[in-house]
Amino acid sequence: MLNKYFLILIILLYYLAGVLVEKGVILKDLKCRLIDEEFFNLDKCDYITNTHNIEEFHLVLKLFPQRPITNCLLQLQFQLKTFTVPLKFNGTYDVCKFMKEQQKNRVLKRFYDIYKRYMNANHSCPYDHDVYFKSSKQIPFADNIPWPSGEYLFQSLWIIDKRIRFILAGIIEFYNDNTIKLNT
């Protein structure tokens, strides 16, 4: 009898391991919009997808502030567009405060932990230098955040001195099983 339960446990663990391995993200569209050209210069904003759906994302913002940036808000918006009932996430975060006390916001910390090694804006305010984000291949987005499968519209608004200065938006496809083919 014990062997029967042990076998069921092994099969269940094998199935769960297979599901976790099959998680992934495909970047389908990306748009950078510079709102204030006197504050930033958008030097680069692009992504490359090869035949194996491995993305590389590059963003370089040259700062022209009259003084260092000491207050910055980030408004994150996600919407699952391939679902009968629209699922939405919307949150606004104080970037300077978060960078000082990262453990106090678990949602933003999960996003930050994914991307911090690919950018140079990984310190607390003030910011008085150019900002770059250069991803290497295959960012492990799916392993860190438990989202339902589907296509998501996302948008991030960067608000500095109470004005929207930069918008990064696009479409990502998140999958957590093997129903989506990688070479579509």
Residue 129: band (very low, low, confident or very high) from pLDDT cuts 50, 70, 90: confident
Which pLDDT score is estimated for 138? 52
Quote helix, strand, coil % in the chain, to nearest 5: 25, 40, 35
Which pLDDT score is estimated for 73? 92
**pLDDT tens digits, residue range 12-64?**
443 333 333 345 667 778 888 988 888 888 888 877 776 655 567 778 888 87
Mean pLDDT of 79-93: 78
* CATH of 2-175 among 2.150.10, 2.70.220, 1.10.3470, 2.60.120: 2.70.220
Which pLDDT score is estimated for 181? 43
pTM: 0.73
What whole-number distance in Å separates Cα of residue 172 and Cα of residue 142? Answer: 11
Give the chain's length.
184
Which pLDDT score is estimated for 2? 44
Percent of the chain with pLDDT over 90: 8
Which pLDDT score is estimated for 183? 41
**pLDDT tens digits, residue range 153-163?**
889 899 998 99
DSSP-assigned letters across all residues of 16-70: HHHHHHT-EEEEEEEEEEES-TTTEEEEEEEEEE-TT--EEEEEEEEE--SS-B-
